[in-house]
Structure 1
Amino acid sequence: MELPITGFIVGSDQSKEDEGHSHVLYLTSWGGRPVHVHEFGGMTSFDMGHLHQYAGTTEPAPSGVPHTHSYFTVTSFDSGHNHRINGETGPAIPLPGGGHYHEFRGVTSADGSPPHEHAYSGRTSP
């Protein structure tokens, strides 16, 4: 099955001499439908005497159909370390005046000394 996708690519500011080369892909439609993203952020649980802050933007998903979003970010650097946060939001929850948000929750990567995790949860922006 072919799925038409449109978007644009932004080149990196690295010189061609660098071994690494990257681009940022911005999707504008998926299967003929416009895509959208949500912002998310919050604080982790307080464990091992500290907590972390985090913020990010979800990956694009199609508008107007049932969907979820993948997400990834890195927490603030506290107590000598940070953690990775990644997962998939729950389904869209409609708002009375239109639009929607998503709930998310999970556990961070195990990092720090000693290695440990933090729980996190929240709602995306509408």
Structure 2
Amino acid sequence: MEIPVSGFMYHSDDSDPMHSHQLFLTSWDGRPIPAHIHEFKGVTSFDVGHNHRYAGSTEPAPSGVPHTHRYFTFTSVDDQHRHQIRGITGPAIPLPTGGHYHEFNGFTTVDGSTPHQHSYGGTTSL
């Protein structure tokens, strides 16, 4: 028995020595699987005399089940450089009125004429 599916694959973060990928299904047997994204934004910590702004959208994740989201963006260019931000959100935090959000935090890549990094963190949109 064959069941038609469609979706897309995320590139591996190369942490697995067997090199795996994450498959995200968007339909199963012709029926769509609901997915959603969140927006996120903020300002990094103030280090080496400056900070950076950042904004982006998470990768899609399935709706209605426990999940996290991967995220990736670049900071604004300040002090003639920018940093990369990437990670995985925490689990969904439900709201009493419905919906949910996620917390995220981490450190930027090391960049700049004086090599340094910034911390960042916050919550996604609902």
TM-score (norm 1): 0.78
Distance 2:100 2:4 in 1: 25
Matched, 1:93 2:90: no
Which runs of no fewer than 5 residues in structure 1 stay unpaired?
Answer: 8-26
Which consecutive segments of 4 or more residues in structure 1 shift more than 6 A?
Answer: none
Q: Mind listing any 5+ residue stretches in structure 2 that lack a counterpart?
A: 9-23
For 1:28 and 1:96, locate their aligned partners in 2 and report how far apart those are by CA, in whole Å.
Answer: 29
Alpha-carbon separation, structure 1, partners of 2:58 and 2:111? 23
Structure 1 residues 3 and 115 mapped into 2: Cα distance closer, same or farther (>3 Å)? farther
One-letter code aligned to 1:87: G
Percent identity among equivalent residues?
A: 61
Q: Is the 8 A contact 1:106 1:119 kept in 2?
A: yes
Match of 1:15 in 2: none
SS at match of 2:34: strand
1:29 aligns with 2:30: no
Pairing 1:5–2:6 present: yes
Partner of 1:119: 119
TM-score (norm 2): 0.78
Structure 2 counterpart SS, 1:85: strand
Match of 1:55 in 2: 55
Q: How many equivalent pairs are there?
A: 106
Q: 1:113 to 1:30 in 2, by over 3 A?
A: farther
